[in-house]
Structure 1
Amino acid sequence: MIIFHKLFYLFVYLLKCLPWFILYGISNFVYYVLYYVVGYRKKVVYENLTNSFPDKSKKEIKKIAHQYFRHMSDILVEAICEEKMVAHYQKHMSIKNPEILEKLYTTGKSVLLIGGHLGNWEWLGVTMQQLTPFNAKGVIKPLSNPFFNDYIEAIRARHSSGIIPFKQTIRV
């Protein structure tokens, strides 16, 4: 397992040296492997889409599933290359009406922003810390693989003032 970890970190280091257009080419390869070779969570994705969109045809569901796997592959590559994300966040993210947040901050108010898994939520964590005066914290659900969970949590911790495990949040 130690050899795998060393190879993974070498692979990540090499990835970070590549320009974005090559990284997105690699993302296309990752998509192909996840969807066609491994079939990672394919059944779950199709079941969820079918339940969420009962009026959609099988062809439409299949198209959405392909888009989902492409999107997840992009997110995976972008998360691995988080140093590049930090350098380029302004090209990808902005806050509308930042003066509202600034006013709340100067008056000592707390803010709760809620966002969904739209776009790349990892960009959001980096951006909030860069574009707002608030100590941004993200709610996370741990990954099932401990090695990859620790890796992703370390990335998130470098660019935010904290993460909150999902199980420690209040349910309403």
Structure 2
Amino acid sequence: MTLPHLSDKERLEVEKKFYSHMCDMFLEMIKTMTISDKEINKRFILTNIELLSEYEAKGKSVVLMCAHYGSWEWLINIAKKINFRSIAIYKRIGNKYFDKLIRDIRSRLDAELIETKKTVELMEYNATHGIKAFYGFASDQSPQLERARYWDTFMGYEVPVYTGAEMLAKKLDMNMVFVKVRKVKRGFYEATIMPLAENVREYPDYEITSKFLREVEKQILEQPEYYFWTHKRWKHVGKKATEQTS
């Protein structure tokens, strides 16, 4: 756990709270199979829902960036609140039974799921045919090391960064937003849409991605126990120099 500003005792307390939250999260995933619209809207509130309509009125598809924080599964409920298509980008899980479970859970909230390897093809098709959508990217993941094009600092470490969301937004001229999630109490969350960039082609490469990472760091530092610490975000720490000289 990368929280050097905390004491060992404080980090241990965060760790305990994280595992408690992770258990809650799995229970929430299962609950999604039967939860009513009324109940999930009470438990997962979008604080500035009007901003979604404003982005639709701009006439461009939107890249929605988020982190593995709070309840990203319930974040997909945004699909029920928009007119554009809602498409969640996800990495296929090796266990086919668990993969099907995850797909069933997310589809229950009206979101379309697309595997990462099929993302470019689908987004280009939709752009060509005038199909507008919100594309959800959990972009705090680690890319395959051999495909890393950009490194940045994240929570005090230099790490390879996933840049696909920004590159696709630039290629297809889409607006970009960040979704900040806050856990209010057990089983209850609030999400806020935060603009990241419009006219994305005017930004230097990776600037928007770096801006996204800074927002994720702020979110983690506010309530570190709700970040998904077990997803190996720092597995390539220290390997940059080796890659560049190999």
TM-score tier after normalising by the smaller chain length: 0.5 to 0.7
Letter in 1 for 2:40: Y
**Which structure shows the higher strand fraction?**
2
Aligned to 1:89: 40
Instruction: Give the unaligned 5+ runs of structure 1.
Output: 1-48
What is the aligned residue count? Answer: 121
* Map 1:72-83 → 2, pairs under 5 A: 72-82=22-32, 83=34
TM-score computed with the length of structure 1 as normaliser = 0.59
Contact 1:157 1:163 in 2 (8 A): yes
- CA-based RMSD: 2.3
Q: Which of the residues 34, 56, 62 maps onto 2:12?
A: 62
Instruction: Give the unaligned 5+ runs of structure 2.
Output: 121-161, 164-246
Query: 1:95-151, CA deviations, whole angstroms, 9 ceiling, x for partnerless residues?
Result: 3333332133244321222122222111111x2012222211222233343211211
Partner Cα distance (1:81, 1:106) in 2: 34
DSSP-derived class of the 2:63 partner: coil
TM-score computed with the length of structure 2 as normaliser = 0.43
Partner Cα distance (2:82, 2:63) in 1: 13
Matched, 1:118 2:60: no
Partner Cα distance (2:113, 2:94) in 1: 17
DSSP-derived class of the 2:105 partner: helix
Partner Cα distance (2:88, 2:65) in 1: 10
Q: Which has the higher contact order (CA 8 A, sep 6+)?
A: 2
Contact 1:85 1:123 in 2 (8 A): no
Aligned to 2:206: none
Letter in 2 for 1:159: L
Aligned to 2:79: 129
DSSP-derived class of the 1:163 partner: strand
Letter in 2 for 1:161: A
Contact 1:140 1:166 in 2 (8 A): yes
* Map 1:86-165 → 2, pairs under 5 A: 86-125=37-76, 127-165=77-115
Moved over 4 A (4+): 167-171
Partner Cα distance (2:87, 2:116) in 1: 12
Letter in 2 for 1:75: M
Q: CA 1:123 to 1:57, structure 2 compared with 1: closer, same or farther past 3 Å?
A: same
DSSP-derived class of the 1:114 partner: strand
